[in-house]
Amino acid sequence: MHLRKSVSLVGGFVFLQAALASPALATDTSFAASTVNALGVDLLASVAKPNENALLSPYSIQSALAMTYAGAASETKAEMAKVLHYPADEAALHRSFANFRRELEEIHERTVKLVNKSSHENGPGEPITLMIANRLYGQSGYAFRPTFLSLVKDNYGAPFQPVDFIHASENARSEINGWVSERTHNRINDLIPSGGVDEKTRLALVNAIYFKAAWAEEFPENSTRAEPFFFDGTKVEKVQTMRLQSSHLGYTRGEGFKAITIRYVGGDVQLLVLLPDKKDGLAALEAKLTPLLLAKCAKSAPTELIFYLPKFKMEPPSIPLGSVLQSLGLQKAFNQPRGSADFDRMAPRKPDDYLALSEVFHKAFLALDEQGTEATAATSIITLAAFGVAHVAPRPKPIEVRVDHPFLFAIQHRTSGACLFLGRVVDPR
């Protein structure tokens, strides 16, 4: 049997989930939140070596895969649902992603109103920028099912753009990468590397997410100092470290770790820092990371803290996730064994002409300083066309927390706990 490649590009940063509610609720986002965090935990250990920085957008990756899932059939569909932590009710899953996307997009509008309302009171000067974009790039003339194209457009806001992979695959790659670069303010370039698509490509499902936000309380720049950071439990180097004293930081003590949350303007999104008690305790903390733990830490109670946090910037290269997803059990979708991929709900499956995943590319960027955070990501899936005062008590002494050794972090949607971005910092330099 002659197998022909087809590309399906999906990405999002979004670089993102919650307790399960009734799938009948029109505003429910729990399915999206839970699947985002579950896959993020699955992937974190695999995107970089344990002694390296890591950054990914679980929301972006899962958004792309959910669009792909809309076209899966039979055993391929069942396998994807199991590995990707999808609920039995597929329609509820897609509605949940649609509701979550709209909820994230509304954050910008709410912070615009907040900025306009508080501008005369020395309030925030800039709203949150949170942009999510999806698009399908498909081979012109290929028999994609209208029901599939309508589903991803209605639920993921992904219009269909015809391109010519067969005769001009490099032009198509350039067009897709240009679209991603534009939507991520030129932070994500060359998402699909050279050779990532060719004349056998048939479809690219693309997701991009861009996030830029100021802290609700900024770190004073004159408080930033070079402070010690323990890289491996013993090795010490000085890194630029910010300092903030506030009664509005979230704080939770866990077994062997501390969880600190810092809100961005508007309070809908926050940075979560998970700091192991032991300077060499990162691996043990990462081993106990679960979607439930992420969701619980999102609700950390406001506490008076003196908080020290290193500035850091991360820009890892494009990551191919195909082999990682296969190791998690996504076999048939990648046509393993040969001939087993079934995306008949995406395009009619024929013995000598059918779609299968070939590769999933993901790329992210994050910069964090005294003013706030800028982060963005994108994911691409390559397919094969195989063939809160009563009595005023004495104010307690602030708790001092120094993030001076390797830690985990996430940028979360506070209500649901969904992780738009997730990563580890081993070296903040």
- pLDDT classification of 154: cutoffs 50, 70, 90: very high
Question: How many whole angstroms from its chain centre is CA 398?
Answer: 33
Mean pLDDT of the region 276-298: 94
- pLDDT classification of 2: cutoffs 50, 70, 90: very low
Q: What is the pLDDT of residue 386?
A: 58
Cα-based torsion angle of the residue sequence 403, 300, 302, 249 in order, rounded to the nearest 10 degrees: 30
The model scores a pTM over 0.75: yes
- The DSSP-derived string for 309-326 is EE-EEE-PPPEE-HHHHH
Residue 11 pLDDT > 70: no
- The DSSP-derived string for 31-72 is HHHHHHHHHHHHHHTTSS-TTS-EEE-HHHHHHHHHHHHTT-
Burial pattern 354-387, b for ≥16 Cβ within 10 A else e, equals bbbbbbbbbbbbbbbbbebbbbbbbbbbbbbbbb
CA 358 to CA 355: how far, in whole Å? 9
Burial pattern 100-125, b for ≥16 Cβ within 10 A else e, equals bbebbeebbeebeebbeeeeeeeebe
**Residue partners of 354: CB distance under 8 A and separation at least 6:** 341, 342, 343, 344, 347, 385, 386, 387
Q: Which two tokens mark 328?
A: 């998690």
Element (H, E) at 361: strand 354-368
Burial class (CB in 10 A: 0-12, 13-18, 19+), 400: exposed
Q: Are strands 269-276 and 407-413 parallel, antiparallel or unpaired?
A: antiparallel
Residue 12 pLDDT > 70: no
SS3 239: strand
- List the single range of 82-91, 295-304, 393-402 with lowest mean pLDDT: 393-402
Q: Are strands 160-163 and 129-139 parallel, antiparallel or unpaired?
A: parallel
H-type helices in 248-343, by residue range? 282-287, 291-297, 322-327
- pLDDT classification of 234: cutoffs 50, 70, 90: confident
**Residue owning tokens 């639920």:** 155
Question: How many whole angstroms from its chain centre is CA 61?
Answer: 6
Q: Which two tokens mark 408?
A: 């985990």
pLDDT tens digits along 32-44: 999 999 999 999 9
SS3 390: coil
